[in-house]
Structure 1
Amino acid sequence: MKKIVGKLVAVNLGKETDGLAKSPTNYLHAELDGFVGDRHRSIQRQCWQGDKQAKGSIRRNERQWSATSIEELAEITEKMDLSQPLTADKVSVNLCFEGIPKLSLLPKGSILKFSSGAELMVEEYNPPCVEMGEKLAEIFSTNSGKDLVATDFTKAAAFSRGLVGVVEVAGKLSVGDQVSVSVYQPPLWIAKMQSES
Structure 2
Amino acid sequence: MDDLFGVAAVPASRFKARLARTLLADGDGFVTRDVPALAVTLEGVRGDRHAGHARPADSRVPWYPRGAPIRNCRQVSLVASDELARIAERLGLEEVRPEWLGANLVVEGIADFTRLPPGTRLHFPGGAALAVEGENAPCRHAGAAVADGAPDAGGRAGLDLAFVQAAKGLRGLVAWVEREGTLTAGDEISVRVPEQRLWRGAR
Q: Decide: shared fold, TM above 0.5.
A: yes
Provide the TM-score with structure 2 as the length reference: 0.85
Moved more, 157-166 or 131-140: 131-140
More helix by share: 1
- Tell me the matched-pair count: 186
Aligned-residue identity in percent: 33
Contact persistence 2:100–2:149 (CA under 8 A): no
Aligned counterpart, 1:121: 131
Aligned counterpart, 1:174: 184
Aligned counterpart, 1:60: 71
Which ranges of 4 or more aligned residues in structure 1 deviate by more than 4 Å?
Answer: none
Alpha-carbon separation, structure 2, partners of 1:79 and 1:105:
19
List alignment gaps of at least 5 residues for structure 2: 1-11
Alpha-carbon separation, structure 2, partners of 1:56 and 1:146:
33
The structural deviation recorded for 1:165 is 1.1
The structural deviation recorded for 1:142 is 4.5
Residue type matched to 1:183 in 2?
Answer: V
Q: Cα deviations across residues 68-98 of structure 1 (Å, max 9, x unaligned)?
A: 0111111111111103x22211211100011
Q: Which residues in structure 2 correspond to 1:146-165 (within 5 Å)? A: 147=156, 149-165=159-175
Contact persistence 2:57–2:64 (CA under 8 A): yes
Aligned counterpart, 1:78: 89
Residue type matched to 1:113 in 2?
Answer: H
Contact persistence 1:69–1:101 (CA under 8 A): no
Q: Which residues in structure 2 correspond to 1:17-56 (within 5 Å)? A: 17-51=27-61, 52-56=63-67
The structural deviation recorded for 1:141 is 4.7
Alpha-carbon RMSD across the aligned residues, in angstroms, is: 1.9
The structural deviation recorded for 1:54 is 2.2
Q: Which residues in structure 2 correspond to 1:128-139 (within 5 Å)? A: 128-139=138-149
| Change in CA separation of 1:50 and 1:8 when aligned onto 2, cut-off 3 Å | closer
Say whether 1:100 aligns with 2:113: no
Residue type matched to 2:78 in 1?
Answer: A
Contact persistence 1:80–1:142 (CA under 8 A): no
The structural deviation recorded for 1:8 is 0.5
Provide the TM-score with structure 1 as the length reference: 0.88
Alpha-carbon separation, structure 1, partners of 2:28 and 2:112:
29
| Change in CA separation of 1:28 and 1:140 when aligned onto 2, cut-off 3 Å | same
Q: Cα deviations across residues 151-180 of structure 1 (Å, max 9, x unaligned)?
A: 111111001101111111111110100001
Moved more, 121-130 or 145-154: 145-154
